[in-house]
């Protein structure tokens, strides 16, 4: 899915607004003022990694999608940011990026792409191995406690303009009989008010509830596991929060 969607991903995300909201929370979660070694796992097009490198941190980004990594490298070059990007899957990061990181980030609802409990445990164990003792893990998922309870099928639409070209991005789920979700991203594009062109890409997700994720982290040995409801640091409310944000210490 993400190889096919990589060309439009930075149109879909309003990066100035997102980073303005999220970077202050990330800085508080990291808990240290000095330059840090940071791994951005499932980094997508690299915008968090680039922004953190511009703040003076030493950052490596990794993503399973070669097309996303290629775009991340182009974004870093355009920004003049010194960030290393690698193609690497969650659960198999160590051979590509090494150990001893102060912080590992896994943002953008990436963990639900792991479709079994075994794959989730492998990824979390991999994160722990990447971190130094006392290092910080920061996870950002959608709040599937709320989504599943309400059977919320549609996510908030997004729009984007480039000159006379208009984009609309529509996201929705199918609730599958096996308990997984099929996530669809529909991209609509038109020029100068002309006819719409459309593309749909899809992938499967495993909705992660808070109890499963926090229990898995504690079983692996993470401590001080704290949950928030968004990237401003609001308390987590399973019935209303848009996100499940977790900060944990190795």
Task: Identify which of 26, 69, 23 has the alpha carbon closest to the alpha carbon of residue 46.
Answer: 69
- Taking the domain 146-205, which CATH number applies? 2.20.25.110
Closest C-alpha among 37, 36, 59 to residue 47? 59
Q: Show pLDDT as tens, one digit a residue, over the chain (250 residues).
A: 899 899 999 999 999 999 999 999 999 998 877 899 999 999 999 999 999 999 999 999 999 999 999 999 999 999 999 999 999 999 999 999 999 999 999 999 999 999 999 999 999 999 999 999 999 999 999 999 999 999 999 999 999 999 999 999 999 999 999 999 999 999 999 999 899 999 999 999 999 999 999 999 999 999 999 999 999 999 999 999 999 999 999 9
Find tokens 């919320």 and name the residue: 152
**Orientation of helix 117-130 relative to helix 210-220, angle to 10°:** 50
Interatomic CA distance for residues 43 and 39, integer angstroms: 9
Quick count: other Cβ atoms within 10 Å of Cβ 162? 10
What is the side-by-side order of every strand in the sheet holding 158-162? Answer: 158-162, 165-175, 181-191, 197-205
The third-level CATH classification (topology) of the domain covering 2-144+208-249 is: Rossmann fold (3.40.50)
> Taking the domains of the chain in order of start, what are their residue ranges?
2-144+208-249, 146-205
């Amino acid at each position: 899915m993400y190889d096919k969607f990589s060309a439009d991903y930075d149109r879909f995300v309003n990066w100035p607004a997102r980073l303005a909201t999220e970077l202050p929370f990330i800085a508080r979660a990291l808990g240290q003022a000095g330059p840090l070694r940071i791994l951005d796992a499932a980094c997508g097009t690299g915008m968090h990694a680039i922004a953190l490198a511009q703040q003076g941190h030493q950052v490596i980004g990794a993503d399973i999608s070669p097309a996303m990594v290629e775009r991340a490298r182009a974004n870093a070059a355009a920004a003049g940011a010194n960030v290393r990007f690698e193609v690497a899957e969650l659960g198999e990061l160590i051979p590509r990026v090494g150990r001893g990181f102060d912080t590992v980030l896994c943002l953008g609802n990436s963990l639900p792409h792991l479709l079994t409990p075994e794959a989730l445990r492998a990824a979390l164990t991999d994160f722990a191995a990447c971190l130094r003792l006392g290092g910080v893990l920061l996870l950002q998922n959608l709040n599937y406690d709320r989504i599943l309870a309400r059977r919320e099928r549609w996510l908030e639409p997004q729009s984007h303009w480039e000159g006379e070209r208009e984009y609309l991005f529509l996201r929705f789920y199918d609730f599958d009989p096996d308990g997984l979700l099929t996530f669809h991203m529909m991209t609509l594009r038109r020029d100068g008010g002309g006819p719409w062109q459309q593309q749909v890409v899809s992938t499967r997700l495993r909705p992660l509830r808070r109890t499963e994720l926090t229990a898995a982290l504690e079983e692996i040995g993470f401590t001080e596991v704290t949950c928030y409801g968004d990237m401003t640091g609001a308390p987590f409310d399973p019935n209303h929060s848009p996100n499940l944000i977790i900060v944990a210490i190795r």
